[in-house]
Amino acid sequence: MAGRNRMSFMISRIVGNTLATRIVFCGAVLALCRLAVAYVDPPAEKPQPAAVVADMDEEELKPGTVACANLVYGSGKTSVCYSPQFLADVGKQTNIVTQSRFSPVKLESSRLYQYPFAVWTGEGGFALTPEQRTNLRNYLTNGGFIVASAGCSSPEWIDSCRREISATFPEIRLNRIDFTHPLFHTVHHITRLECRHEKNTMLEGLEIDGRIVLVFSSDGLNDTANAGSKSCCCCGGNEIRNARLINVNLLAYALTH
């Protein structure tokens, strides 16, 4: 497949000597086989959007790097308050080379399949279009990975996101992810979520064929304080304080499972 050929450049970037990098390398070949599908168009037999939607940012993807998307969804909803600093951490702690910032990508766009990892975040209620639900399902069932994170623990966003996940995957339920799961141990060994208000919380996951394809956080993995915008402030939510370490693990998991 042409999509698999386009993924071959990643192999040389993943090999490394550190413990964390060896963990990444052990699953690299399997990961490339899985994630290559996310670089091709969705299967022809599945419903397709009526038109290809142009994205706000048509930046050229750099060869040899892993690019991550920031989803634009609903009626243009998105957020700049999800810190990309963990992307640099991945580059320092493994030999995975990433682009230093997110690329805004519309959920209904065919360009989404160029990104093996995406964040889905925001505040307030929303509803996806039928085209967006179709592309969300195709993306996740064909190798993509999404972190769905409520901005500032927004209850309206949480309710909307749960509803849309259920509508898109009526046959699958979100389940709590135990701390023994590999995604908590790919690079950093994480045994608890350190929340702002010190309440017990868990991440939830959507699993397809034995692989978690979507991680849901009602409290928030945004690391808002380091998002780089003065307008970003999680002033009343229960945001997870060790989100940066968790996000490093999630990206490594997405590329190796």
The Cα 4–Cα 187 span in angstroms is 26
Nearest to 196 by CA among 254, 236, 247, 164: 236
Number of other CB atoms surrounding residue 62 within 10 Å: 11
Domain assignments of the chain as residue spans, ordered by start: 2-256
Q: Domain spanning 2-256 has what CATH number?
A: 3.40.50.12140
The one-letter amino acid at 127: A
* Residues 98-152: tens digit of each pLDDT: 998 999 999 999 999 999 999 999 999 999 999 999 999 999 999 999 999 998 8
* Residues 33-84: tens digit of each pLDDT: 344 433 434 544 443 333 333 444 455 677 889 999 999 999 999 987 888 8
Percentage of the chain lying above the pLDDT 70 cut:
70
Q: Chain-centre distance of CA 120, in angstroms?
A: 7
Sheet of 204-208, strand order: 103-106, 68-72, 117-122, 145-150, 211-217, 204-208, 175-176
Q: Tell me, what's the pLDDT at 236? A: 56
Q: What is the mean pLDDT of residues 13-33?
A: 39
Which tops the pLDDT comparison, 220 or 16?
A: 220
CB contact at 8 A, 214 and 154: no
Q: Give how far Cα 95 sits from Cα of 5, 22, 102, 215, 248, Å.
A: 21, 9, 19, 24, 13
Query: Would the pTM of this model clear 0.85, i.e. be above it?
Result: no
Q: Tell me, what's the pLDDT at 81? A: 83
The Cα 127–Cα 199 span in angstroms is 29
Nearest to 155 by CA among 147, 163, 143: 163
